[in-house]
Structure 1
Amino acid sequence: MTGIADGRVVIVTGAGRGLGRAHALAFAAEGANVVVNDLGVGLDGTPDPDSPAARVVDEIRAAGGEATAHAGDIATGEGAASLVATALEAYGHLDALVNNAGFLRDRMLVNLDEDDWDAVVRVHLKGHFLPLKHAAAHWRAEAKAGRTPSARVVNTSSGAGLLGSVGQGNYSAAKAGILALTMVAAAELGRYGVQVNAVAPAARTRMTERTFAETMAAPDTGFDAMSPQNVSPLVVWLGSAASEAVTGRVFEVEGGRITVMEGWRPGPTADKSARWTPAEAGETARKLLAAAEPPGAVYGAEQPPGDTRRRRSGTTGPPCP
């Protein structure tokens, strides 16, 4: 197979199902050698006897591609280190890391147990940090040895990380943390030939199947707007050498739409050049708020009657892993 990722070695975490599987297949179709990581757990992160990583590897090989399975826990130092080692042992180098693994344990905040908080933050946020850390250590060593790579990292955030999502405080916090981690990694690792970006996808997966209808195909074209396969082309491009000079960016992807997210930027401001009194500060804050653009609505929040504001990017669906 030849294509935009021809000859590149790509790790995809959580690649046994859903978005990760779609990414792995898409990379392979474009000529990449893929390390398919999946721990094989259920939607809530509990053990699942049906491990899907090997099946995805079989799919890739049946289509003429090359792939290797990895079933380690990438939210542990040992598992993340063995993930990178698997790529190097199988293919001799590493070009891209796609952090995608995750699960949900949804609760309203007052009902959210500490264990449910820790488990979700662990798999999403720590499960991004540790593979990134070990891949970056390899790429830094390569750069210092005079072999500066054309390396890529694609992290997976969510609309929940961008806007928040009612009933998903743990997930929203982790996905927002991934955005900040992406910015820091892009700034720190650029000197070693590493570009780091993030996507916030909306697609039908195990984590969203109860929310999205079974199909959202347009009757005239048959286009399934919620297929995970719609997200993968941008991920493949970001993981390829063709994305040169694109780093520290966040893209929202849904159906046929790609949106560059612009993040937190300074809005209206006032400077007294002296300390405010509480009353003055409050009066000034209200004036600034009146001049500011209103925030997008939190997913799942009730909007006041007559409030027709669309979410910041125009997305109408819920967040997705």
Structure 2
Amino acid sequence: MESKLFSPYTIKNVTLKNRIVMSPMCMYSSHNEDGFVTDWHYTHYISRAVGQVGLIMIEATTVTQQGQISPQDLGVYRDEHVGGLAKLVKGMKTYGSKTAIQLAHAGRKAVYSGDIVAPSSIPFDDTTKIPKEMTIQDIKETVEAFKLGAERSKVAGFDIIEIHGAHGYLINQFLSPLSNERTDEYGGSRENRFRLLKEVIETVKTVWKGPLFVRISADEYHEKGNKMADFIYYASEMKRLGVDLIDCSTGGVVRAGIQPYPGYQVRHAETIKHEASIPTGAVGLISTGIQGEEILRNDRADLIFIARELLRDPYWPRTAAKELGITIDPPIQYERGW
């Protein structure tokens, strides 16, 4: 029987050789708060391309220095960042992987020496800074920063862009009533809370014609947070705006006692895929080829995002293929040992 996990998948003008995606995971490996690619990034990402991952999405890459998740995060807020990113893209593509970048702004969860910003002046918890409530001008400048980040990503040669709207970072903060208490056009109703993401998507699409993904946290684990009906609304609006796939994670906007189990987030991807009629990616403790195959064969998602398992095993596609009883082609240099 032909494997779904190892079947090609085409989005607009980009064809992935399989449905395996390396999920974005921060490496905290840039130096001196400069946001530049280092030797670690070349080793880390290119080895997964050698391992035959279909799509490699690099870590959350900040569109402003103020929006960094940590001072060691990659950045795309300066033209000087493009050279290192372009070299990284070239290395990954050499071994047949398609490439993606996740554009991010941490908002109130930023670790930054100066002021941090958020939709409302509410800290993430008792140990973090109190953010400055964003003015309309701050919002406009941030939307522009996402656009400039997309332009630089295009110059660097990425195949796909993902907008980070999950895990309690800035866009998620605007989407959630738990962190957004604004009374202007960016707060209140879910239509207003969606406005920032809407403007980011629209602005990015003025400079980016390739596939566009958005990662969301499709469960906030709080009775006063967004519910599935809200996420279906957001996903339907994103589809209308031209987003190609929703990457479905959960949590992060507030501290919550999440009890994960294998595939615990797949049901969110499945519901959004069918209720909003948009392709989705499933992520979260997916560790075997059998799991990935089951998700795809039962039409629960369209792509399988692998995170920690790819930290443990850079050649996880080979491991999954052996588990499924199929053969995939190795890099020619590894033929004797594949």
TM-score by shorter chain over 0.5: no
Q: Which has the larger radius of gyration?
A: 1
TM-score range relative to shorter protein: 0.3 to 0.5
TM-score normalised to structure 2 length? 0.38
TM-score, normalising length: structure 1: 0.39
